[in-house]
Amino acid sequence: MINFKFNNNLYSNSNSSRSKNAFIHKQDLNKNIINLTEKHEYDNYELNNLEYNYAKKYDRRNFFEIYWSFIKREHLVVFTFITRDDHNITFVKCSRFFFLLCTDMSMNVFFFADETMHKIFLDYGKYNFIQQIPQIIYSTVVSQLIETFICFLSLTDKYFYEIKESKRKTKALVRQIISKIKIKIAFFYVFTFIMFIFYWYLITCFCAVYKNTQISFIKDFISSFILGIFLPFINYMFPVIFRIISLKSKSNIECVYKFSNIIPLF
């Protein structure tokens, strides 16, 4: 709370007009104090995670503002290379991007079935995109699930808001949170290092044994990666639409708002 101190001389009997002006000035300052205490400043992350009643009161963004806030947070390329000042560690975000890229590549190897290779043999090595659609979808879905776990290990922005929302911002709290961040980041790099060894072994063996399917494998990876790039632009339109409907409605439709927080599932 901001405290304002007034000089008692303002209320002396020296001049009635002066006293009146001082009284008016004091009223204006009191109004400013009330406005400061009632004013709530939320960024996009906080607005997106508000409870329904608070979101209905404070979230005044339009469709495109909400949609872009989702894309900045959830789109792999945008989040890694465009989003700034999001309270996440930049080099960890880049490490996360590289790991997920390798994950997508490895999942395409993992779902490369014998039946698929037989069809490639029958087609004399020609790449059939329609035939590869199920494999591309499977690898994309599994990659997205792994990404959810990686987000838990690598993203640190929630700790910033934990400190921000805490009523007692002590050095002990900050040290405790920094310790948590160090442990999670260390586990992230240990986990990704182990997975990189597995990915390297898997892809090397596949390319060594199935030399004639390497081109198809690379094309599948590129198709899967492009699908993962464009899919969020479609996926996150739906939660934004439901969110706008729930917030703009005059009636209480909290269930729609909660539903908007559930989709997409990953």
Nearest to 99 by CA among 149, 58, 46, 56: 149
Is residue 35, in this structure, part of any structural domain at all? no
| pLDDT score recorded for residue 115 | 53
In a domain, 91, yes or no: yes
Residues in contact with 238: Cβ distance below 8 Å, sequence separation at least 6, in sequence order: 260, 263, 264
Domain that holds residue 166: 86-233
What pLDDT score does 240 carry?
A: 94
- Residue 13 is assigned to a structural domain of this protein: no
Nearest to 96 by CA among 180, 195, 223, 233: 195
Q: How many domains does the chain have?
A: 1
According to the model, what pLDDT value does residue 222 have? Answer: 85
**Does residue 32 sit within a domain?**
no
Predicted model pTM:
0.72
**Structure token digits, residue 49:** 């995670």
Whether 158 maps to a domain, the answer reads yes
Which pLDDT score, from 0 to 100, does residue 36 have?
35
Question: CA 168 to CA 163: how far, in whole Å?
Answer: 8
Average pLDDT across each block of 10 residues of the chain; the chain has 266 residues. List them in order: 41 46 44 42 86 91 94 91 88 93 85 56 52 68 82 88 79 87 94 94 85 78 84 90 91 89 71
Per-residue pLDDT at 127: 52
In a domain, 4, yes or no: no
The CA distances from residue 88 to 104, 131, 249, in Å, are: 23, 40, 34
The answer to whether residue 22 sits within a structural domain is no
SS3 sequence of the chain: CCCCCCCHHHHCCCCHHHHHHHHHHHHHHHHHHHHHHHCCCCCHHHHHCCCHHHHHHHCCCCHHHHHHHHHHHHCHHHHHHCCCCCCCCHHHHHHHHHHHHHHHHHHHHHCCCHHHHHHHHHCCCCCCHHHHHHHHHHHHHHHHHHHHHHHHHHCCHHHHHHHHHCCCCCHHHHHHHHHHHHHHHHHHHHHHHHHHHHHHHHHHHHHHHCHHHHHHHHHHHHHHHHHHHHHHHHHCHHHHHHHHHHHHCCCCCHHHHHHHHHCCCC
In a domain, 155, yes or no: yes
